[in-house]
Amino acid sequence: MTDSPQATSAESTSSASASAEPASSGSALAAPRTEVFAEKDQLVSVVAERLLAVLVDAAREHGEAHAVLTGGSAGIAVLAQVAELVARPGTETPPWRQVHFWWGDERLLPSDDPERNAQQAHDALLDALIAEHGLPEENVHRMPTSEDAADPEIGAEMYATELQGHAADGSQGGLALPRFDVLLLGVGPDGHVASLFPGKAALEVTETTTTGEDSSPKPPPQRISLTFPAIHSAQRVWMVVSGADKAEAAAQALTLDTVVAEIPAVNARGTRETIWHLDRAAASQLS
């Protein structure tokens, strides 16, 4: 455990779940690594710095960068911190016209509802990037609203089409997806990630990149989510987990024999990197 906000001094360990097989992807996925920070603020600063660095490198290397955002308190705090870094003179930033933002999940609500993950991300970061730094509005790929789609399944199909429109060449395990450089995920106290909740049919979806949820146990009930195969296509899956209410779910997700149907977060992995960024409270039950 560390009191330093520096990524290099965070505890970093390979987890026992390294040999647990993910449920839905044929390709090899990165075993989870954990990094524990004394406080949420430190976690947030490190993830924000890393996010910017990944976008800079990906834009340089591939001519474009794709980040998948999450809702939730830690995920939105990361975006607010990115906004602070971007406003700070001397921070290296990507050419924003080459950066695309996507979402891992969304609540099917009206476009201006403050509960929408996209609305919160706009307030925290995206509005400033669009207004002051040249991020093209069309690079912000929001999931459909309740005005766009009559139900979550229709919304999910619409988003799959949007993803397909930016698909990388055949490299995402047969699914039409952009090359996600980094995908952020929060974790619920029940172990959910994105809008993939314990015991739900959405956990089993393997043929499509998106899915609709009609009866989420966390309000609101109607949601749209990426599926596990879509999550597994990401180069880097970064979990951002803060607070004692996540401790039990985090400990279970990082345990060898945990079942995806009970703790979906056990199946959140990327191709190159899976990192669980936890504050001390969220890490308090890790063995």
Q: Is 43:87 a contact under the CB 8 Å cutoff?
A: no
We find the least distance from the C-beta atom of residue 216 to ligand 6PG, in angstroms, to be 8
We find the least distance from the C-beta atom of residue 218 to ligand 6PG, in angstroms, to be 6
Taking alpha carbons only, the member of 129, 146, 149, 150 closest to residue 138 is 129
We find the least distance from the C-beta atom of residue 207 to ligand 6PG, in angstroms, to be 22
Residues contributing to the site for ligand 6PG (CB under 6 A): 70-75, 105, 107, 117, 186-188, 192, 194, 218
Nearer to ligand 6PG, 50 or 218 (CB): 218
Distance separating alpha carbons of residues 158 and 254, to the nearest angstrom: 33
We find the least distance from the C-beta atom of residue 184 to ligand 6PG, in angstroms, to be 9
Q: What is the CA 198 to chain-centroid distance, rounded?
A: 18
Nearer to ligand 6PG, 59 or 109 (CB): 109
**Which phi and psi angles does 266 have, rounded to 5°?**
-65, -20
Nearer to ligand 6PG, 71 or 270 (CB): 71
Look up residue 33 and give its two tokens.
């690594």
Other CB atoms within 10 Å distance of the CB of residue 234: 33
Nearer to ligand 6PG, 194 or 251 (CB): 194
Distance separating alpha carbons of residues 200 and 233, to the nearest angstrom: 21
Distance separating alpha carbons of residues 136 and 64, to the nearest angstrom: 13
**Total count of residues recorded for the chain:** 287
Nearer to ligand 6PG, 42 or 117 (CB): 117
Whose tokens are 């976008």? That residue is: 55
